[in-house]
Amino acid sequence: MSYIYERTINYYETDKMGVVHHSNYIRFLEEARCYCLEKAGMPFDKFEENGITIPVLEVKCKYKQHITFADTILINVIIKEFNGVRLTIGYEVKDKKTGNDVIIAETKHCFTTKNLKPINLKKHYKAFSDKFEALLSLS
Say what the pLDDT of residue 136 is: 86
pLDDT of 1 over the 60 cut? no
Q: Which residues make Cβ contacts (< 8 Å) with residue 20, sequence separation at least 6?
A: 9, 13, 14, 66, 67, 68
Q: How many domains does the chain have?
A: 1
Each residue's pLDDT tens digit, 14-59: 999 999 999 999 999 999 999 999 999 999 999 999 999 999 999 9
Which domain, by its residues, includes 9?
2-138
Query: Please, are residues 122 and 84 in contact by the beta-carbon 8 Å criterion?
Result: yes
| Residues involved in catalysis | 15
pLDDT of 139 over the 90 cut? no
Whole-angstrom distance, CA of residue 128 vs CA of residue 95: 32
pLDDT, averaged across the chain:
95
Q: How many residues does the chain have?
A: 139
Each residue's pLDDT tens digit, 66-94: 999 999 999 999 999 999 999 999 999 99
Each residue's pLDDT tens digit, 3-19: 899 999 999 999 999 99
Whole-angstrom distance, CA of residue 18 vs CA of residue 107: 27
**What CATH number does residue 38 fall under?**
3.10.129.10
